[in-house]
Amino acid sequence: MLSATDIARDRLLHKSVEEENQKTLEANNSDELDGLTVSGDGSWRKRGFNSLYGVSAIIGHYSGQVGDLLVKSSYCKACESWKSKFDTEEYAEWFETHAENCSSNHDATVRREKRRRMRCWKCSSDRNQSTE
């Protein structure tokens, strides 16, 4: 179930993506969208890849609008609490329900992060279409 803030964020991001689509069509004098030019940036709480928290954003080239924003975390309090039961059936059952909502969503490998950023815009667009 989505919270009111999730719905508001998704609608705002969807509006930003739609604006970028329109401005891209205008800039290219075209009726057909052949892709978008975006930039991505991020920041971590601490320097290096050992920070627990960070943020990453995708910004449209023509609109300058944020198309997606991700809060990154390499820590989950619930996972930490269950760590001692990792190889148990109880843990496996718990993790099935927890995995989708786990707050740990950061992998320190740079290559994976770049791929995630590139998919970020498309995921945001797809997710936002389903909330209209």
The pTM score is 0.61
14 within some domain: yes
**Is the CB of residue 74 less than 8 Å from the CB of residue 65?**
no
78 within some domain: no
Residue-range definition of the domain harbouring residue 17: 4-72+110-129
Structure letter (DSSP) for residue 59: E
Q: What total number of domains does the chain contain?
A: 1
21 within some domain: yes
- Condensed to tens digits (0 to 9), the pLDDT of residues 85-109 reads 988 999 889 988 888 888 887 765 5
Per-residue tokens: 26: 């205008």
94 within some domain: no
11 within some domain: yes
96 within some domain: no
64 within some domain: yes
- Condensed to tens digits (0 to 9), the pLDDT of residues 36-60 reads 899 998 888 777 656 788 888 999 9
66 within some domain: yes
CA-CA distance, 47 to 86, in Å (whole number)?
30
Q: Closest Cα partner for 113 from 65, 66, 37, 55?
A: 55
